[in-house]
Structure 1
Amino acid sequence: MYGLIGRMLATEGQRETLLSIMLEGNAPMPGCRSYVIARDLASDNGIWITEVWDNQDQHMASLQLPHVQATIARARPLIAGFDQRFETEPQGGVGI
């Protein structure tokens, strides 16, 4: 399995709008076992994204899906950047 944990930063005052866009775009993605979007409680602009995939290739392929591309296009103007990213190798757990 392939895991990815990253913190996205919304532009000032746009976190709730960005969260809304990201949550609307959640549709099935082949190979995705878990995709969690959460507010960062320590930052007014931070959003944590935690993903678990069958493998890294499926994660990369998901970025080309039409609904993912549409979500990225809508969200891009509200994204100030990404300041943390961790790749992991999930071993199991609840829901995966």
Structure 2
Amino acid sequence: MTFANVGTLETKPGQRDAVIDILTRPNPSLAEAGCLFYEVGASEDQPDTVFVTELWISAAAHQESLQLPSVREAITEAMPLLTGKMDGFQYDVTGSPLRE
């Protein structure tokens, strides 16, 4: 079953774009680990928030990806730019009108 992870990361003032740069670097190992979709975005209404939407082949694939060296490096680099306030939700995808 496909797994979705949708979240927000609060950045320290003025650090949103730096975090976006870290999270949007090309990383082929994500696809190899089972990531189907990884989108990062921003809203001018929340200038210190980064939005992340991920779709994975499974919850286990998502968990395992957190141990990839490239992912660990990105987390280590981004952490000093974040306030520590994170929010979001996860769910098992049950269907879509865009695919059979």
The reply to whether TM is greater than 0.5 is yes
SS in structure 2 at match of 1:24? coil
TM-score of the aligned structures, taking structure 2 as reference length: 0.84
> Which amino acid in the other structure matches residue 66 of structure 2?
L
Number of residue pairs aligned between Structure 1 and Structure 2: 95
The percentage of counterpart residues that share the same residue type is 26
Unaligned 5+ residue runs, structure 2? none
TM-score, normalised relative to structure 1: 0.87
Do 1:40 and 1:46's aligned partners in 2 also have CA atoms closer than 8 Å? yes
User: Which residue among 37, 42, 58 is the counterpart of 1:39?
Assistant: 42
Structure 1 residue 18: Cα displacement: 1.2
Larger Rg: 2
* 1:94 CA displacement: 5.1
Amino acid at match of 1:4: N
Cα distance change of structure 1 residues 93 and 78 upon mapping to structure 2, 3 Å threshold: farther
RMSD across aligned positions (CA): 1.8
CA offsets, 1:31-72, max 9 Å, x none?
Answer: 111011101332010111001111100000000000000111
Report deviation, 1:79. 0.9
